[in-house]
Amino acid sequence: MPVLKADFEACQGYGNCLTGAPDAYDIDDDGVVVLLKQEITDEERPRIEEAARSCPVSALTVEDS
C-alpha cells in the first residue's frame, strides 16, 4: 500500500498540496505540513501524488511500502 512521506524541515508552508488533496494534507499553525493519512489506496494515489508534486520545495513524496 502506498505511504505518504514528508520532509517537515523542508516544508515552507506554501499549501499547494491542500488544493489537490485536502483529505491527505493540512498545514499547522506553524506553517508546516501535517499528514492526515499515512497510507493511501491505489485509487487515490494519482491525485495525492499530483498534490505532492505541486510542492515547490519537494517536501512530499508517495512511496510504496
Q: 31, 64 in Cβ contact below 8 A?
A: no
Q: How many Cβ atoms sit within 10 Å of the Cβ of residue 23?
A: 14
- Summary mean pLDDT of the chain: 96
Q: What are the pLDDT digits (tens) for 41-64?
A: 999 999 999 999 999 999 999 999
The model carries a pTM of 0.92
Cα–Cα distance measured from residue 17 to residue 41, given in angstroms and rounded to the nearest whole number: 17
| Domain range annotation of the chain | 2-64
Selected from 3.30.70.20, 3.90.1530.10, 3.40.50.300, 3.30.540.10, the CATH number assigned to the domain covering 2-64 reads 3.30.70.20
Q: Which of 49, 21, 15, 52 is nearest to 36 (CA)?
A: 21
Cα–Cα distance measured from residue 1 to residue 20, given in angstroms and rounded to the nearest whole number: 20
Q: How many helices (H) and strands (E) does the chain have?
A: 2, 4
